[in-house]
Amino acid sequence: MTQADIASAPKAVRFRFFGDRMENGASTVTGPARLLADPSYISQIRQEPWLRRIIPVVILSFIALVGIWRASDLMQQREAIDQNARKEIRLLATLVTAHVGNEFEAFIRRTELAQQQSSNRITTGKPAKALLPEGSRTNQKSSTKTDTYVGTDGRATTSLNTPSRATFQEWLFASLPDVDLADNYQIYLTDGTGVIVASIPRGAQNMRKTLIDLLGRAQALSTFGASAGVLDITLNDETAAFAAVHHLGGGRGSVTILRGTDKMFSAWRGDVARNVIVFALMSGIILLIVYAFFSQGARAREADNIYIATIQRMDASLKRSRSGLWDWDLERGHIYWSRSMYELLGMEPRDQLMGFATINERMHPEDGNLHQHVEELLSSDARMMDRQFRIRHEDGHWVCFQIRAELTKTPNNRLHLMGVAIDVTEQIAIEEKNMLADLRLRDAVDTISEAFVLWDNESKLVLCNRPYRELHNLSDDENLVGLSYNEVMDRGQPHVVALEDNKDIETSDVLFDRINLTPLEARAYKVQLADGRWLQISERRTRDGGFVSVGTDITNLKLQENNLLDSEQQLIATVSDLRKSRQTLELQAQQLVVLTEQYAKEKDNAEVANRVKSQFLANISHELRTPLNAIIGFSEVMKQEIFGEHKTTKYRDYSADIHSSGSYLLKLIDDILNMSRLEDGEVDLNSETLDMVKLVRKINETGITDQAEERDITINNEMPDSLEIFADPHFMEQVVINLLENAVKFTPEGGEISLSGSQQDGFSTLTIADTGVGIPQDAIDRLGHPFEQVQNQFTKTHQGSGLGLSIARTIVCLSGGTMKIRSRIGQGTRVTIRLPRRSNDMLSS
């Protein structure tokens, strides 16, 4: 039974869920299938009408119960969220009201004390700050508004008013037990007149509103306060919220807390949506299963009708293809033949199974016993049988069958040999005729004097004659039919090495070029073989996509042609080479003149620009150093308070900032001048042998260690006892200082800086590693150039010109060494300096 047969059944039959009662189950199983059907299959057919009526009722009842249960559970969750929110709002309102009330009481007491002290000052004439404690004066200044006026007695008096809005805002923020509550609640603090004086979240637009503008005039909350509890209200902007109002007492104001219900019930709404989706999916899946059950039942009923039609179609197809179906029960010895099998042998069709002896009597004696072939198949690992047998026809002649069968097991574990038998009698007769025609064709092709070969559409050899074998040194006894082009060429000699245009080619290229030929299109070309011979090859594509080639030996003709062409080619080549050489020399001479002029011009321009730059830097350095010396000197005097102590600490800080900025600017000018001299080659290095360990120890004592300790950075000195280098002490000290300052500057607090050294192959190595922020990989190549910096959070907060690494790299290179930088973001940076231990003259000797 095929899928197309089922689909072709009427829809009224396939999807008839509640139709007429089915017929007896036994009557629906007919033909060979009745012998294979189990009793349980018939019992299922009888129970199907009752199942089709009971299953829908059970499924719908289950879906309804699940829906009611989930709806009830979700409503209980919403009620719990509502109650918890009201409790939280009530507790928060009580807590904020109590805290603000306590602050207000404390403020009143401070105000009364300030008034009393003010009265005493007026009476005694003493300053008010002498009567109030330091803490009281500070609080009074920050939390009250003071107005001074002249009284009737001619003395100045002070009036203390209500707290400022900033004070109210401070009290409101201090009353929150958790800052995160500000994300979920809106808290407003109003004064005695109902005007909002503080809010969370803070907003300037809220300060111009009153409690009535916020809640509306018809709210009982503003009237009853805490006794009204937590109410569900709608604000003026049509927003639903939970609200509670608690009065501070004494007409001082009130605390209002709002919480929007949209955000509060968002998680619950998400649960509702997920439950609805899950319920819908579950219901859909269950209904789909029910639909599949009824659809499968309809298909099963229709399958019985389709089975009969399928058997008829299969018999008709087997008859037209002159084939027959076999099914041999090896345990019982019964064989089932299709109707077409009987017709091929001229026998009357029968519904009963045939015995093995009946068939074995009709087998040809030369083909062997059929039972013996089956035993060989069972004793081997093979499961397939593909053999030819001759069976006697009813009129006495023999019919040849190609039997292709496979060993299978039925559900009840009985071994069957199932397959198909194809009548190949006519095919064998045609093959014999083709074989005779092929022999005649081969004899005719061998008589041709030219080399002849025929290839099929897959480039495999079909036919070749004796001259072709002699041409390629192929043995006459070797069977080449079916071999590919490359295989034939590998077995013979010579190979194709060149076409007529003398271009080297692969052996298979000549064949592959034929693909572009259309059917019946012809072409001819000349090829050279490995032994020097030339062939004229004529090819044509056959109708089936193959190729036929005929090759003629034209070696003598090619030799004569080549001799005539050699003299002409040599003369032409000589003249062409002379002409090209003269043109090349003239062009090179012109280009050399132009380049020389451009080089001289650019050299003069560079020298003038360099002199102007050097003069400018010298002048600007002199002009900047004069005022900087005064700025640094006088700021140093002011910083040390030589002429007296500053009355205000701000002046001391300003003096330090002026001194620090002036020193930084002076160092920057020195770096620019040093960089300029290094680039111009105006620096003479006084190199000598020195100990890098002593140099590092000296630099640490100059203040680098103090800078690291201020930022809690640990410097690990892992230097050996001695590390000799040959360099200028002054400039090498500047290199190490620049690298250490960068390491301290870009290492966060609590980090580490490590110094290590080693000696190898006449060079000394100094490594400075830190655990700082690191440098991006694409920015490392830019570092070392003047004014290049890596932008990150440290360069934004630390001063730097980008000249330190450039000066260090230049000095190291002038000293005959190298500097390498390796870094990873978030892990740190490692700078390695490699310098010679001896001078170049000493190393050469």
What pLDDT score was predicted for residue 153? Answer: 36
Domain-located, residue 33: no
CATH code, 756: 3.30.565.10
Residues 476 and 502 in one domain: yes
Whether 798 shows a pLDDT value over 60: the answer reads no
* Domain-ending residue, one of 215, 246, 264: 264
Closest CA to 21 of 64, 42, 52, 43: 52
Mean pLDDT of 763-783: 81
Residues 529 and 582 in one domain: no
* Domain-ending residue, one of 627, 660, 682: 682
What pLDDT score was predicted for residue 505? Answer: 44
Residues 104 and 242 in one domain: yes
Range with the poorest average pLDDT among 48-52, 177-181, 508-512, 653-657: 508-512
Residues 709 and 637 in one domain: no
Residues 453 and 471 in one domain: yes
User: pLDDT of 69-95, one tens digit each?
Assistant: 988 888 888 888 888 888 888 888 888
Domain-located, residue 36: no
CATH code, 169: 3.30.450.20
Q: Which of residues 181 and 313 earns the better pLDDT score?
A: 313
Tokens found for residue 223: 């009237």
Residues 332 and 396 in one domain: yes
What pLDDT score was predicted for residue 470? Answer: 81
Residues 216 and 91 in one domain: yes
Whether 15 shows a pLDDT value over 50: the answer reads no
User: pLDDT of 125-159, one tens digit each?
Assistant: 554 443 333 443 334 444 444 433 333 333 333 33
What pLDDT score was predicted for residue 180? Answer: 63
What pLDDT score was predicted for residue 507? Answer: 41
Range with the poorest average pLDDT among 206-215, 751-760, 810-819: 206-215
What pLDDT score was predicted for residue 498? Answer: 67
Closest CA to 398 of 364, 365, 357, 348: 364
Q: What is the mean pLDDT of the chain?
A: 76
Can you give the residue range of the structural domain that contains 654?
Answer: 554-682
Whether 759 shows a pLDDT value over 80: the answer reads yes
Q: Is the peptide bond before 494 cis (omega within 30 degrees of 0)?
A: yes
Whether 105 shows a pLDDT value over 70: the answer reads yes
Domain-located, residue 61: no
Domain-located, residue 645: yes
What pLDDT score was predicted for residue 625? Answer: 72
Domain-located, residue 569: yes
User: pLDDT of 535-577, one tens digit each?
Assistant: 888 888 888 888 888 888 888 888 888 887 887 787 788 888 8
Write the DSSP string, 677-735: HHHHT-PPP--EEEEHHHHHHHHIIIIIHHHHHHTT-EEEEE--S--EEEE-HHHHHHH
What pLDDT score was predicted for residue 22? Answer: 39
What pLDDT score was predicted for residue 131? Answer: 34
- Read off the pLDDT band of 96 (50, 70, 90): confident
Domain-located, residue 471: yes
Whether 360 shows a pLDDT value over 60: the answer reads yes
Domain-located, residue 109: yes
Residues 697 and 839 in one domain: yes
Whether 375 shows a pLDDT value over 70: the answer reads yes
Mean pLDDT of 43-63: 79
Whether 18 shows a pLDDT value over 60: the answer reads no
Range with the poorest average pLDDT among 128-137, 371-380, 830-839: 128-137
Q: Ranked by mean pLDDT, which of 364-368, 611-615, 654-658 comes out on top?
A: 364-368
Residues 541 and 594 in one domain: no
First-last CA distance in the chain: 99
Whether 647 shows a pLDDT value over 80: the answer reads no
Question: How far is the C-alpha of 128 from the C-alpha of 117, rounded, in Å?
Answer: 6
Residues 576 and 465 in one domain: no
What pLDDT score was predicted for residue 504? Answer: 46
Residues 713 and 623 in one domain: no
Domain-located, residue 51: no
In a 3-state reduction of DSSP, which class is residue 28? helix
User: pLDDT of 431-462, one tens digit each?
Assistant: 888 888 888 888 888 888 788 888 988 889 98
Percent of the chain with pLDDT over 70: 78
Q: Which distant-in-sequence residues (6+ apart) come within 8 Å of 158 by Cβ?
A: 114, 115, 118, 146, 147, 148
Neighbours of 454 (CB within 10 A): 17
User: pLDDT of 157-205, one tens digit each?
Assistant: 333 457 777 888 788 777 777 666 666 788 888 887 778 888 887 765 5
What pLDDT score was predicted for residue 836? Answer: 92
Instruction: Count how many domains the chain has.
Output: 5
Mean pLDDT of 51-72: 86
Mean pLDDT of 601-629: 75
